[in-house]
Amino acid sequence: MKRTLAIIVGIVLLLVPLIDRNSSHISAYADTGGLVLLAFGLNIIVGYTGLLALGFAAFFAIGAYTYGFAASPQYGLHLNFWPMILVSAAVAALFGLLLGAPTLRLRGDYLAIVTLGFGEIVPQVLQNLDKWTGGPDGIAGIDQPRLFGYAFGFNPIPYYYLYLVIILIALWLLNNLRHSRIGRSWMAIREDELAAAHMGINTTGAKLAAFSLGAAFAGVAGVLFAAKLSTVSPSGFDFNTSVMILAALVLGGMGNLTGVITGAAIIGLLNFLILPQSTNWVQALGQQLHASALANLDLNQYRFMLYGIILVLVMLFRPEGLIPSATRRAELHAEQADSALPENNL
């Protein structure tokens, strides 16, 4: 049943560019694919391991700029796109380790604050080291991929398919991880870190692995983002982007890959397709009616209000997300039941 559904969804996704001929729509679908990858990465850290990391967009930026430096007139380097996917993933993972190593002794709120700081520092550094990074304008003229002589250029369709392929590979990797030594270690740490250590789990090592693997997913998303747009600038990686990724995770349901994809698809389509499109319609309507309030209305500016409303509604009515992992749902309901009981001490 689940398998059949997955195959049907897969076929529909394959056919989308044939059904929907509007290239700005395809572009929005491709960008949504990027959000799915980012949400996959954050899910390893927050969903599996239970570490609240804000500022995740920093790793996205690191992936994008790594490719920007390596394949643009900025340094006159023009390294090949395909191996750079892996290189950027590795660079982002390295930064994941660098951030993780000193901070993973922290828990909960403290870790959230430190990662939030990291998320602010990275775009600031990119903006202010203008001698090397191009400053607020970023890097332009980034090389776009070629495959067997076919140039991707600015046509969104090949990017759309590239995202599909990479998401499929990511799903395979994540499914392996989930049912493996390291996946069980992550969940054990989420459940009870002290007990996990007594199972012989090197908890610091496992948390570092979660951080760097999560960052690697963001790094891959960064390369694709930079290549599709052919330009990167610091403004694309601010706190708002981090919030968007977290919102996708919370909306869809943490820990469950179907939930993560659903949440990322909804937030992505809202952000990349529905808001820009409805802005166009409203403005066209406003011009027809000669109503300047409507003609100048930009719905895109309300997106964070919308995320906020979505998050509040999810927390009120379905705190486990739309399609949660069975675990998470039970956890949230158990917490309510347990809240009257005293805490267990060691």
Partner 1 sequence: MGLLELSSLCKNFGGLAAVKDVTLSVESGMIVSLIGPNGAGKSTVFNLITGIYTPSSGTIVFERQALGGLRPDRVTAAGIARTFQNIRLFSFMTVLENVMVGRNARMHATVADSALHTARAGREDDDVKRVATELLDFFGLTPFAQEWARNLPYGMQRRLEIARALASEPRLLLLDEPAAGTNPAEKQALMRLVQSVRDRGVTVLLIEHDMRLVMGISDEVHVLDYGEKIAQGTPEQVRRDPRVIEAYLGKGA
Interacting residue ranges for partner 1, rule: CB under 8 A: 173, 176-177, 179-185, 187-188, 191-192, 194-203, 209, 213, 327, 330-331, 334, 344-346
In the complex, minimum distance from the CB of residue 22 to partner 1, in angstroms, rounded to a whole number: 37
Which CB sits closer to partner 1, 13 or 197? 197
Q: How far apart are CA 160 and CA 30, in angstroms?
A: 4
Tokens matching residue 242: 């981090």
Which CB sits closer to partner 1, 228 or 328? 328
Q: How far apart are CA 211 and CA 183, in angstroms?
A: 13
In the complex, minimum distance from the CB of residue 219 to partner 1, in angstroms, rounded to a whole number: 15
| DSSP count for the chain of H helices, then E strands | 16, 4
Closest C-alpha among 172, 173, 183, 249 to residue 49: 183
Given a contact cutoff of 8 angstroms between Cβ atoms, the answer to whether 262 and 322 are in contact is yes
In the complex, minimum distance from the CB of residue 253 to partner 1, in angstroms, rounded to a whole number: 14
Which CB sits closer to partner 1, 58 or 213? 213
Which CB sits closer to partner 1, 283 or 327? 327
Given a contact cutoff of 8 angstroms between Cβ atoms, the answer to whether 281 and 211 are in contact is no
SS3 content of the chain, % helix, strand, coil (to 5): 75, 5, 20
In the complex, minimum distance from the CB of residue 327 to partner 1, in angstroms, rounded to a whole number: 4
In the complex, minimum distance from the CB of residue 2 to partner 1, in angstroms, rounded to a whole number: 17
Given a contact cutoff of 8 angstroms between Cβ atoms, the answer to whether 88 and 66 are in contact is yes
In the complex, minimum distance from the CB of residue 101 to partner 1, in angstroms, rounded to a whole number: 16
Inter-CA distances, 4 with 8, 9, 109, 110, 143, Å: 6, 9, 41, 44, 39
In the complex, minimum distance from the CB of residue 203 to partner 1, in angstroms, rounded to a whole number: 7
Given a contact cutoff of 8 angstroms between Cβ atoms, the answer to whether 138 and 233 are in contact is yes
HSE at residue 79, side-chain half, CA atoms within 13 A, is 15
Residue 106: strand, helix, or coil: coil
In the complex, minimum distance from the CB of residue 280 to partner 1, in angstroms, rounded to a whole number: 43
Residue 184's Cβ-count burial label (10 Å; 0-12, 13-18, 19+) is middle
Which CB sits closer to partner 1, 42 or 44? 44
Tokens matching residue 252: 């869809």
Which CB sits closer to partner 1, 207 or 228? 207
Which CB sits closer to partner 1, 221 or 229? 221
Beta bridge partners of 147: 150
Which CB sits closer to partner 1, 201 or 248? 201
